[in-house]
């Protein structure tokens, strides 16, 4: 379980890096440029790394300010979370990166702080944002689902493409489990379990698909 949790974060980071190069690919004039792609990957990595480092320092100071401003620790923690997320998303957008890279980095920052200075906070931040998430998350899946037109699967070429992508994605996730060294007593079965547990993950993949459609990468 611990391996899968860490691998899930790495998997999402890889998705973020992929998002970092998608948009430039649609706007490059004169064809594909490997240099631009490498620069975008470096930019995305730099944003996440420096964003986490600077964000953690800022969060400590801001938590003190918000504690003094609000009598309710829960209210202060929630408002600080939205402020941090908004700032990171805005900076990521200005840097030419996908907004999800900013929100993902903000999540890493906020997860680390745990709002220790909000002494009056009685609820974890995950619980505070859960009602909001429960309202907004279905809209995301609704918007993703409403863009799906199943009639295209009747086209043989499209169906084959979808099948190939599905098989490659499944193999890739299953193979990831065998990158882990496990003691002899669990070798084999444990690797398969890790690969199978990684296979259903796909939130970032859905975001990539939606942005790919928005940028016109596929007709």
Q: Give the whole-angstrom CA distance, residue 89 versus residue 86.
A: 5
Q: Where are the alpha helices (DSSP H) in 72-122?
A: 73-94, 99-113
Residue 142: in which H helix or E strand, if any? Answer: helix 125-146
* Cβ pair 80, 66 in contact under 8 A: yes
Return the top range by mean pLDDT from 8-17, 24-33, 41-50. Answer: 41-50
Q: Give the whole-angstrom CA distance, residue 73 versus residue 75.
A: 5
Percent above pLDDT 90 for the chain: 9
**For helices 99-113 and 73-94, what crossing angle results, to 10°?**
150
pLDDT at residue 88 is higher than 90: yes
HSE at residue 199, side-chain half, CA atoms within 13 A, is 17
Average pLDDT over residues 202-217: 78
Task: pLDDT band for 7, please (50, 70, 90 cuts).
Answer: confident
Residue 66: in which H helix or E strand, if any? Answer: helix 34-69
pLDDT at position 86, please?
92
pLDDT at position 156, please?
93
pLDDT at position 167, please?
94
Average pLDDT over residues 84-107: 87
pLDDT at residue 159 is higher than 80: yes
pLDDT at residue 112 is higher than 90: no
- Note the pLDDT tens digit of each residue in 11-31: 887 877 777 777 666 665 555
Task: pLDDT band for 163, please (50, 70, 90 cuts).
Answer: very high
Single out the residue of 89, 114, 104 nearest to residue 11, CA to CA: 104
Q: Give the whole-angstrom CA distance, residue 130 versus residue 111.
A: 15
pLDDT at position 195, please?
87
Q: Give the whole-angstrom CA distance, residue 29 versus residue 33.
A: 9
Average pLDDT over residues 58-65: 76
The single residue listed with the structure tokens 């099948």 is 163
Q: Give the whole-angstrom CA distance, residue 52 versus residue 101.
A: 12
Query: pTM score, two decimals?
Result: 0.70
pLDDT at residue 47 is higher than 70: yes
Single out the residue of 167, 177, 169 nearest to residue 208, CA to CA: 169
Average pLDDT over residues 185-206: 79
């Amino acid at each position: 379980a611990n391996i899968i949790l860490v691998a899930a974060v790495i998997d999402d980071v890889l998705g973020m890096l992929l998002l970092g190069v998608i948009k430039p690919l649609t706007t490059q004039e004169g064809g594909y440029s490997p240099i631009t792609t490498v620069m975008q990957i470096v930019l995305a990595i730099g944003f996440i790394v420096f964003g986490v480092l600077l964000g953690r320092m800022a969060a400590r100071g801001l938590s003190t300010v918000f504690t003094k401003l609000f009598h309710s620790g829960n209210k202060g923690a929630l408002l600080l979370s939205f402020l941090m997320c908004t700032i990171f998303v805005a900076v990521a957008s200005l840097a030419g990166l996908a907004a999800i890279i900013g929100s993902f980095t903000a999540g890493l920052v906020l997860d680390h702080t745990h709002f220790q200075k909000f002494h009056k906070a009685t609820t974890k931040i995950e619980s505070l944002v859960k009602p909001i998430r429960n309202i907004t998350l279905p809209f995301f899946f609704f918007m993703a689902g409403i863009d799906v037109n199943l009639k295209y699967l009747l086209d043989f070429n499209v169906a084959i493409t979808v099948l190939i992508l599905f098989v490659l994605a499944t193999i890739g996730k299953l193979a990831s489990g065998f990158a882990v060294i496990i003691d002899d007593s669990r070798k084999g079965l444990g690797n398969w379990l890790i690969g199978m547990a990684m296979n259903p993950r796909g939130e970032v993949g859905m975001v990539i698909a939606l942005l790919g459609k928005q940028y016109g990468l596929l007709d």
